[in-house]
Homo-oligomer: A and B are copies of this chain.
Amino acid sequence: MVIESVNNERIKEIRKLKEKKHRDKEKKFLVEGEHLALEAYKSGNLETLIICDGYDYDMDVNKIFVTKDVIKSISELETPYNVIGICNIKENDEIGNKVLLLDNIQDPGNLGTIIRSAVAFNVDTIVLNNKSVDLYNSKVLRAAQGNNFYINIIRKDLIEFVSLLKKDGYKIYSTNVNNGNDVKNVKTNEKYAIIMGNEGNGVSADLQDLSDFNIYITMNDKCESLNVAVATSIILYELNK
């Protein structure tokens, strides 16, 4: 059976997943296109495929066939793909030894790019605070290119969480352009967390106060600052050596 009506009750429910509050309630989110759907499938996060009539995909999950107009009503893209995946949100309390804390990242492209680099450089868990852009925002997911399925990503109050990490023996690194240690000379402990700040304002003062070390990247002072996704990636690259 092909669902032809954009007002079908099931389709209405799926469309609600475009809003953060429904994603949080249902613990589900959408990904668009075969590449992201396949990454979701391989990582065990894919629940259902919504497929444009006439196409099919070799993934062993629940499938809903719909018309192009129905796909269009769900998609956030101008030119929708022929497939959209419904994925389960999974969060894991096993955070591992290498943790990245993001204090209020606002730009979806930056968050997606950071997720990609965090997987590349072996971060175990990314922790977002509640003011950060939503992880399941479609622009974040596109920029992450499926890497969100290969890393644990959780949401916490960062002040409380850093206190817990410290009690548990993690060393806390914060970034500060004005003072600290050049990242190229930093030797990390076995367990550590890096705090990266907001695009405009950097790491908040409360979190800086809780940090054990400040780190910076040496650069020409004609450049005021690096893009936050670039700065995060360089620090993760250097600490992963």
Contact = CB atoms under 8 A, between A and B. Distances in A.
Interface of A: 109, 113, 116-117, 119-122, 143, 145, 147, 150, 184, 217, 219-220, 222-224, 226-227, 229-230, 233-234, 237, 241
Nearest to A183: B237
A40 to B, nearest CB: 14
Interface of A, secondary structure class, is helix
A227 B121 contact: no
Contact of A150 (B143, B219, B223, B229): B223
A138 B10 CA distance: 41
A96 B230 CA distance: 25
Contacts of A117: 223, 226-227, 230
A12 B230 CA distance: 38
Given A121-B219, A241-B184, A116 B227 contact: yes
Given A184-B241, A229-B230, A234-B234, 17 more contacts: A109-B109, A113-B227, A113-B229, A113-B230, A116-B230, A117-B226, A117-B227, A119-B223, A120-B220, A120-B223, A120-B226, A121-B219, A143-B227, A217-B237, A229-B229, A233-B233, A234-B237
A48 to B, nearest CB: 24
8 contacts: A109-B109, A116-B227, A120-B220, A143-B227, A230-B233, A233-B233, A233-B234, A234-B237
Contacts of A184: 241
A63 B53 CA distance: 59
A23 to B, nearest CB: 24
Contact of A119 (B116, B222, B229): B222
A223 to B, nearest CB: 4
Contacts of A229: 113, 227, 229-230
Give the most central of A121, A217, A241: most B CB within 10 Å: A121
